[in-house]
Amino acid sequence: MSQLFSDSAWHRRIGIALVTVTTLMFAVLDASAKWLVLTLPVMQVVWMRFLTHSLFSIAVFAPSVKGGLLRWRHPRLQLLRGLMLASMTALNFWALQYLQLAETGAMQFSVPILIALLSAWWLGERLDAKRWLAIAVGFAGVLVIIRPGSQGFHPAILLSALNAILYALFNMMTRYLASSENPATTQLTSAVVATLVLTPVALWQWQNPATVLEWFIMGLAGLCGGIGHYFVAVAHRYASAAVLGPFLYQQIIYMSLLGWLVFGQVPDLAVVLGTLVVVASGLYLLWREFQKPPPALQTDTPH
């Protein structure tokens, strides 16, 4: 039986509110990770983030879901989602060693554009000429942020670009799993899979944190990741990825603010202009989405 709610303005607002909390949690997660990877190995930080996430999820959801917490309808997709989450987080944390929070955040804003593009290819959704133009303009904005061939180009930005592609696929998979899987099961499974996969590498690279503050920040990162991923899984029960995707843009506000407050970083003109172009493109795609008649309950199967 589908666990998706019918399409309505009220349900879309609930999904958008959940995604708003998600973007705040992910901004704090990224800021925590950037602070940690300055002194600790990247894979150790990624592993601790997922270990804390897993323990938090078990403590919160096991009493209510009980035996059904690890009951899957699509075990292979759940495993793939966990592997994707581990890869995305590792790429993001690796990039954060070298880039500003605003730069990695700006690259993530290409995700709604990628979702629109992948929806046309994977789900067979038809895009008109104006939407194709918006996608092209959005990718032009991405090129402004990346600045290939210029002195402002840093190879680590390619890690963020790969992360964005995986994140778009990840969002679409989340939407598909939301039609049949408990959101608590989905986010716990992904965290546990990521933890198990990364354990050998993390223990091999392990360095004891020097202060209580480092332990606290690692716990905070895992907590924010757990809350964020659970909320985004629930949000996809209320609204489609195309509706929710553009609201990821507000994360740039939180990331830019944290980058300035914690690291004293201010994004340069190219990042600001590129971000504005990408955001404008995504918002146009959102506006076009709401011009369509309300769809029936969505239970699309990817081909």
The pTM of this model reads 0.78
pLDDT, tens digit (0-9, with 9 covering 90-100), for 70-116:
677 778 888 898 899 899 999 999 999 998 888 888 888 787 788 87
Helix H segments across the chain?
9-37, 42-65, 75-96, 101-108, 111-122, 129-146, 156-178, 183-204, 212-238, 241-244, 251-263, 269-291
Q: pLDDT value at position 76?
A: 86
CA dist 57 → 23, 64, 88, 150, 236 (Å): 19, 11, 20, 44, 18
Report the percent of the chain where pLDDT is more than 70: 86
pLDDT, tens digit (0-9, with 9 covering 90-100), for 53-78:
888 878 877 666 655 666 777 788 88
Label residue 136 exposed, middle or buried (CB < 10 Å: 0-12, 13-18, 19+): exposed
pLDDT, tens digit (0-9, with 9 covering 90-100), for 216-244:
998 899 889 888 877 877 887 888 766 77
Whether the predicted pLDDT of 303 surpasses 70? no
Q: In which band, very low, low, confident or very high, does the pLDDT at 214 lie, cut at 50, 70 and 90? A: very high
Q: pLDDT value at position 127?
A: 73
**What is the gyration radius of the CA atoms in the chain, in angstroms?**
19
Helix axes 9-37, 251-263, angle to 10 degrees: 20
Residue 160 or residue 248, greater confidence:
160
Whether the predicted pLDDT of 35 surpasses 80? yes
Q: In which band, very low, low, confident or very high, does the pLDDT at 268 lie, cut at 50, 70 and 90? A: confident
d(CA 40, CA 53) in angstroms, rounded, equals: 19
Six-digit token string for 55: 């323990």
